[in-house]
Amino acid sequence: MNLIVNGKSHSLETITLADLLQALEYEGNWLATAVNGDLVTREDRAKLHLAEGDRIEILSPMQGG
């Protein structure tokens, strides 16, 4: 399935947002995620099924000032 992750196209065989994070090697409880502009909590990632063309944003905190 084709997904847009952080503005880049990816062809992945994932079912849920949690699967996607694992496939792209994102780890940690500190991530913020959104699908098609809607915030998805950590607890809901395993329940959220992705669809063709979904736009996913994955944000992680950055150090610096």
CATH code of the domain containing 37:
3.10.20.30
Average pLDDT over the chain, rounded to an integer: 91
Residue 65, in any domain of the structure: no
pTM: 0.87
Domain span including residue 21: 2-59
| pLDDT tens for each residue of 12-29 | 988 999 999 999 998 877
Return the pLDDT at 64.
Answer: 65
Helix/strand/coil (H/E/C) assignment for every residue in the chain: CEEEECCEEEECCCCEHHHHHHHCCCCCCCCEEEECCEEECHHHCCCCECCCCCEEEEECCCCCC
Domain count across the chain: 1
Sign (positive or negative) of CA dihedral 11, 17, 19, 23? positive
C-alpha span between 53 and 29 (Å, rounded) = 26
- Residue 49 in any domain: the answer is yes
